[in-house]
């Protein structure tokens, strides 16, 4: 564990008299980026394969949704304490330990499949443990990025990181169904190998992932309350948290929806792979557009416009009646995701002090994804009894209500944008 100073900043971040070193010459950033890109690809393989495995074992979208939701329960249990602990501990060590344990869980799934001993309980247990480890890892990773790059490059670094994430979202879903068709254990073996590579890459990074703190942390509950209070009192970050929750909650079961629609269309494994990969292609386009669009339109227009495009693009799934149109809908719908996410993450990261980043990211994540277990279960039930197209129509209602509500906050956003520009 590390105990360190709130006031201490890396030299490269304090020295504003000269331009920062190019990101492409920052070995620590490139190593972190490469390792996480490979690991995220493996994670995407598992995320798209797990619903296929559950559907193959149970032939029930409702059961698949319930089992998948069990893994998401870890967010409700561990997110807040994880944020406080990430602010106390060495973030790099947290990431290494989490990826190492995740590798073991994935190997256990593969071995059980090869021995024909896999059960729904085993799947739920590994999903829950890996989701729990993923919370610690993700909070440490997000909190660590400002320590690896100059703060003037933060928006650029987040945009590049989003391109890598989107690329993983293209390659992983494309590989998942294909690997699954070759053998049910193969996707999990591939994911285990990717997390092992991530562990090795982290070991080569020498830059510390946190600043030093002048005073030791308080009691865990006190630290959690401090993070919750700070976020709730910060009007802009609180607003972004609530808006992001409103966007993400209705879409939590989109993978299950796509799987069910593709099965009804009698799409082949190769076709399903292309459908899922199309979302990653859209994400790459969106990630590349995020920076130029922000510079052209500013925070207010980007937030309001992103919310409306997000809501309306969801309706594209209602017009997808063959595998090709389903892939087109998935691709176009994903363009807006990184555009919005880069904006809100850039603002949140820039405004949050280093010693609070783990906690603020944890509270933000809990607000945004806390409904995911219920959302996955409800999506599964809706698919089971109402079908995919009725499910899409019902899930559009809260999204369009949110878009209308955001219109009434334009003056507030303009005031926040002016204060950000002034500072």
pLDDT at 1: 39
CB 282 within 8 A of CB 330: yes
> Which tokens sit at 70?
């069990």
Q: What is the DSSP letter of 409?
A: T
pLDDT in tens, 386-410: 888 999 999 999 999 999 999 999 9
- The upper half-sphere exposure of residue 43, i.e. CA atoms within 13 Å in the direction of its Cβ, equals 23
Measured CA to CA, the distance from residue 320 to residue 326 in angstroms comes to: 5
CB 163 within 8 A of CB 288: yes
- Higher-pLDDT residue of 80 and 147 is 80
> Which tokens sit at 119?
């059960």
* Of the candidate ranges 63-77, 148-162, 348-362, the one whose mean pLDDT is the lowest: 63-77
pLDDT in tens, 319-342: 999 999 999 999 999 999 989 998
> Which tokens sit at 397?
């209602």
Q: 139: closest CA among 104, 91, 101, 99?
A: 91
For tokens 């500072």, the residue is 423
> Which tokens sit at 174?
């494309």
Measured CA to CA, the distance from residue 127 to residue 410 in angstroms comes to: 40
Find the mean pLDDT for residues 165-172. Answer: 81
Q: DSSP string of 282-336?
A: HHHHHHHHHHHHHHHHHHHHHHHHHHHHHHHHHGGGGG--SHHHHHHHHHHHHHH
Reply yes or no on whether the pLDDT at 251 is more than 90: no
pLDDT at 213: 66
Reply yes or no on whether the pLDDT at 5 is more than 60: no
Find the mean pLDDT for residues 61-80. Answer: 76
Find the mean pLDDT for residues 27-53. Answer: 87
Mean pLDDT (the chain, rounded)? 84
pTM reported for the whole predicted model: 0.75
pLDDT at 215: 58
pLDDT at 407: 94
Q: For residue 333, with 0-12 CB atoms within 10 Å meaning exposed, 13-18 middle and 19 or more buried, which class applies?
A: buried
pLDDT at 211: 72
* Of the candidate ranges 121-125, 128-132, 173-177, the one whose mean pLDDT is the lowest: 173-177
pLDDT at 336: 93
User: Would you put residue 53 in left (φ > 0), alpha (ψ -120 to 50) or beta?
Assistant: alpha
Measured CA to CA, the distance from residue 200 to residue 203 in angstroms comes to: 5
pLDDT at 315: 93
Reply yes or no on whether the pLDDT at 16 is more than 80: no
pLDDT at 17: 58
Residues 6+ apart with CB under 8 A from 118: 57, 109, 112
pLDDT at 9: 36
Reply yes or no on whether the pLDDT at 309 is more than 90: yes
- Higher-pLDDT residue of 314 and 24 is 314
Reply yes or no on whether the pLDDT at 26 is more than 90: no
Number of other CB atoms surrounding residue 40 within 10 Å: 21
């Amino acid at each position: 564990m590390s105990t360190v100073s709130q006031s201490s900043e890396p030299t490269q971040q304090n020295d504003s008299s000269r331009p920062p070193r190019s990101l492409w010459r920052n070995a620590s950033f490139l190593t972190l980026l490469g390792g996480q890109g490979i690991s995220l690809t493996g994670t995407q393989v598992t995320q798209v394969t797990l619903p296929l495995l559950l559907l193959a074992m149970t032939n029930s979208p409702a059961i698949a949704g319930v089992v998948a939701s069990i893994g998401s329960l870890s967010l409700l249990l561990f997110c807040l304490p994880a944020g406080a602990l990430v602010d106390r501990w060495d973030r790099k060590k947290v990431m290494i330990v989490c990826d190492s344990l995740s590798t073991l869980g994935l190997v256990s799934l593969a071995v059980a499949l090869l021995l024909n001993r896999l059960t729904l309980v085993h799947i739920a247990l590994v999903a829950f443990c890996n989701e729990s480890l993923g919370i610690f890892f993700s909070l440490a990773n997000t909190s660590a990025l400002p320590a690896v790059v100059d703060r003037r490059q933060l928006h650029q670094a987040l945009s590049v990181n989003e391109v890598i994430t989107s690329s993983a979202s293209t390659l992983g879903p494309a590989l998942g169904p294909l690997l699954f068709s070759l053998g049910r254990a193969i996707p999990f073996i591939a994911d285990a190998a990717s997390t092992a590579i991530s562990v090795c890459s982290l070991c080569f990074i020498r830059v510390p992932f946190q600043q030093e703190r002048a005073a030791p942390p308080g009691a865990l509950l006190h630290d959690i309350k401090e993070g919750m209070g700070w976020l709730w009192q910060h009007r802009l970050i609180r607003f972004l948290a609530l808006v992001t929750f409103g966007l993400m909650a209705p879409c939590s079961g989109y993978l299950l929806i796509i799987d069910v629609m593709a099965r009804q269309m009698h799409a082949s494994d190769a076709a399903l792979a292309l459908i899922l990969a199309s979302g990653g292609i859209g994400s790459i386009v969106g990630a590349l557009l995020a920076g130029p669009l922000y510079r052209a339109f500013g925070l207010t227009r980007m937030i309001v416009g992103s919310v409306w495009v997000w809501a309306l693009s969801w309706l594209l799934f209602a017009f997808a009646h063959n595998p090709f149109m389903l892939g087109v809908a998935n691709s176009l719908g994903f363009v807006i995701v990184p555009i919005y996410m880069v904006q809100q993450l850039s603002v949140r990261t820039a405004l949050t002090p280093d010693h609070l980043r783990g906690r603020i990211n944890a509270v933000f994540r809990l607000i945004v994804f806390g409904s995911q277990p219920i959302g996955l279960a409800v999506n599964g039930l809706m698919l089971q009894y109402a079908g995919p197209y009725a499910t899409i129509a019902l899930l559009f209602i809260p999204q369009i209500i949110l878009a209308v509500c955001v219109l009434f906050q334009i003056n507030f956003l303009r005031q926040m944008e002016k204060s950000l520009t002034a500072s």
